Amino acid sequence: MVDNAPDGDVVLLGDAQDEGGEVDPNVVELREDGDDDTKLPDRAVVRDDGSIFLTLLRPVTLKFKMASGIREESFESFVFHPLTGADMRVIKSKPPESVTTTTISRSTRIQEGKINPVYDRMDARDTMDVERVLMHFLNSGRPTGR
């Protein structure tokens, strides 16, 4: 059963920003008929070289153990680059459960060993927007009807 608000009550649904530009995490975006799932997120910026800069809503900070010691690294944004045939060959050789993180790794040019734990700790909204950016590179365009 769906709860509906009585007439006249205001229920805010949508990825609303207040006047200061802050995103309210308690507001859920509803997609309308005809919305394009491959449309880039509003916070994605297409750069002159064709790469796409995406700021994360919730940065991820991890500590990596290396031969030189433990190093902390914060991931606040990603720069995605168009994929090549070599990238696609590597992506297609991976098992299905690794395809997403491999694609992110190849496009951002960040080691897969780093991307896996970062992705696992990312906010779900960020993971969805990352996938929309990747689809921008993989989508050949909107289908046409006859």
What average pLDDT values come out for the chain (146 residues) when binned by 10 residues? 50 53 65 62 94 96 88 95 96 95 97 94 96 89 52
**Cα–Cα separations (whole angstroms), residue 109 to 17, 79, 83, 103, 125:** 32, 9, 10, 10, 22
| pLDDT for the residue 32 | 55
Closest by CA position to 134, among listed 38, 47, 43, 55: 38
| pLDDT for the residue 13 | 47
Q: Which residue's entry shows tokens 């509803």?
A: 30
Question: Whole-prediction pTM value?
Answer: 0.70
| pLDDT for the residue 6 | 52
| pLDDT for the residue 66 | 82
17 SS3 class: strand
